[in-house]
Amino acid sequence: MTETMIEVERDTEGLRQAARQLFEASLVQAARPEVERCMPALTKDLHEPAQHLARAYYERVGYLLRLEKRPPVARDLLACDSRGLDALERAREEFRRAHPPCLHCGALRLIGWTLCWNCREALKEKEEAS
């Protein structure tokens, strides 16, 4: 068990993937009530990513997200924590690039959607994820 935790802490690529999946899932969860209320036909197009990694990865990301919220002076960072926070930041940058905000309301666009889940405006070409 301890060995597994150490492997997870060191596997920054796995942590990045786990964080990205959690960010994607939280966006879909945020959009779901609005889509169900206003565009029920589109609920089938809401896809939460499969969480295919070991549970320890998601638990580790949860820990890193909590660690990130602490003021820097209160952080007593171990090297593995520092690498983990870097992986979290990479995942967040990827997520931001994949979900540029709607120009009308600022809601993050859903991948593959041609209208905004929040304000239902059509999304313009330039908002397409590149």
Q: Which C-beta is closer to Zn ion: that of 15 or that of 107?
A: 107
List alpha helices for the chain, DSSP H.
2-10, 12-38, 55-69, 79-98
Q: Which C-beta is closer to Zn ion: that of 5 or that of 105?
A: 105
Binding mask 95-114 for Zn ion (x = CB under 5 A): -------x-xx-x-------
For the chain, the residue count is 130
Query: Distance of CA 2 to CAs 8, 9, 15, 29, 44, Å?
Result: 10, 11, 17, 32, 40
Number of residues that bind Zn ion (CB under 5 A): 7
Q: Cβ of residue 100: shortest distance to Zn ion, in angstroms?
A: 11
Q: What would the two tokens of residue 116 be?
A: 């905004």
Binding flag, residue 35, Zn ion (CB under 5 A) = no
User: Which residues contribute to the site for Zn ion (CB under 5 A)?
Assistant: 102, 104-105, 107, 116, 118-119
